[in-house]
Amino acid sequence: MMVTSESELAEAIAGAKGPLQVVGGGTRLPVSGEVLRVGISGVKLYEPGALTLVVGAGTPLAEVEDLLAAEGQRLAFEPMDYRPIMGSEGEPTIGGVVAANISGPRRVQAGACRDFLLGVRFVDGQGRVIKSGGRVMKNVTGYDLVKLMAGSWGTLGVLSEVSLKVLPAAEAVATVVVHGLEDAAAIKALSRALGSAYDVSGAAHIGQGTEARSLVRVEGFADSVVYRAGRLRELLGGFGEISVEDDPARNAALWKRIRDVEDFAGRAGDVWRLSLKPSDGPVAAAALRAAFGAEVIHDWGGGLIWALVPAGADLRAAMGDLPGHARIIRASADTVARLGRFHPRPAPVARLEAGLKEKYDPRGIFNPGLMG
Partner 1 sequence: MQMPTPDQTILSRKDHIVRRLRTVLPDDAVIDAPEETRAYECDALSAYRCPPLAVVLPASTKEVAAALKICHEEGVPVVPRGSGTSLAGGALPTEDSIILGVARLNRVLETDYDNRFIRVQTGLTNLSVTGAVEDEGFFYAPDPSSQLACAIAGNIAMNSGGAHCLKYGVTTNNLMGVKMVLMDGSIIDLGGPCADMAGLDLLGLICGSEGQLGVVTEATLRILHKPEGARPVMMGFDSNEEAGACVSDIIKAGILPVAIEFMDRPVIRATENFVGAGYPDVEALLIVEVEGSEAEIAQQLARIIEIGQRHNPVEIRESGSAEESARIWAGRKAAFGAMGQINDYMCLDGTIPVSQLPFVLRRIGELSGEYGLGVGNVFHAGDGNMHPLILYDANKPGDLEKAESMGADILKLCVEVGGCLTGEHGVGVEKRELMDAQYNADDLDAQMAVKDVFDPAWLLNPAKVFPLAATAQRRARPMAAE
Ligand X SMILES: Cc1cc2nc3c(=O)[nH]c(=O)nc-3n(C[C@H](O)[C@H](O)[C@H](O)COP(=O)(O)OP(=O)(O)OC[C@H]3O[C@@H](n4cnc5c(N)ncnc54)[C@H](O)[C@@H]3O)c2cc1C
For residues 217 and 73, give the distance between their C-alpha atoms in angstroms, rounded to a whole number: 18
Question: Which of 303, 307, 318, 365 is the binder for partner 1 (CB under 8 A)?
Answer: 303
Instruction: Point out which span in 98-106, 179-187, 198-206, 245-253 binds ligand X (CB under 6 A).
Output: 98-106
Under the criterion CB under 8 A, does residue 151 sit at the interface with partner 1?
yes
Question: Which of 167, 244, 286, 291 is the binder for partner 1 (CB under 8 A)?
Answer: 167
Site string for partner 1, 97-126 (x = CB under 8 A): ----x-----x---xx-xx--------x--
- At residue 174, what are phi and psi to the nearest 5 degrees? -145, 150
- Exposure letters 155-188 (e unless 16+ CB within 10 A, then b): bbbbbbbbbbbbeeebebbbbbbbebbebebbbb
Is the CB of residue 200 less than 8 Å from the CB of residue 217? yes
For residues 199 and 110, give the distance between their C-alpha atoms in angstroms, rounded to a whole number: 10
Cα-based distances in Å from 209 to 179, 183, 258, 354: 9, 10, 18, 45
Under the criterion CB under 8 A, does residue 278 sit at the interface with partner 1?
yes
Q: Which does 333 bind (CB under 5 to 8 A by kind): ligand X, partner 1, none?
A: none
List strand residue ranges (DSSP E) for 147-280, in order: 158-165, 167-168, 172-179, 200-206, 213-220, 242-245, 270-276
Site string for ligand X, 304-333 (x = CB under 6 A): -----------------------x-x----
Total residues contacting ligand X by CB under 6 A comes to: 29
Q: Which does 129 bind (CB under 5 to 8 A by kind): partner 1, ligand X, none?
A: partner 1
Total residues contacting partner 1 by CB under 8 A comes to: 82
Q: Which does 28 bind (CB under 5 to 8 A by kind): partner 1, ligand X, none?
A: ligand X
Cα-based distances in Å from 257 to 30, 215, 250, 263, 293: 26, 12, 10, 7, 22
For residues 50 and 281, give the distance between their C-alpha atoms in angstroms, rounded to a whole number: 38
Q: Which does 123 bind (CB under 5 to 8 A by kind): partner 1, ligand X, none?
A: none
For residues 128 and 126, give the distance between their C-alpha atoms in angstroms, rounded to a whole number: 6
Query: Is beta strand 34-38 parallel, antiparallel or unpaired with respect to 20-23?
Result: parallel
Q: Which does 38 bind (CB under 5 to 8 A by kind): partner 1, ligand X, none?
A: ligand X
Q: Which does 255 bind (CB under 5 to 8 A by kind): ligand X, partner 1, none?
A: none
Under the criterion CB under 8 A, does residue 47 sit at the interface with partner 1?
yes
Under the criterion CB under 8 A, does residue 135 sit at the interface with partner 1?
yes
State the residues that interact with ligand X by CB under 6 A: 22-25, 27-30, 38, 57, 82, 86, 88, 90, 92-93, 95-97, 99-100, 102, 153-154, 158-159, 327, 329, 367
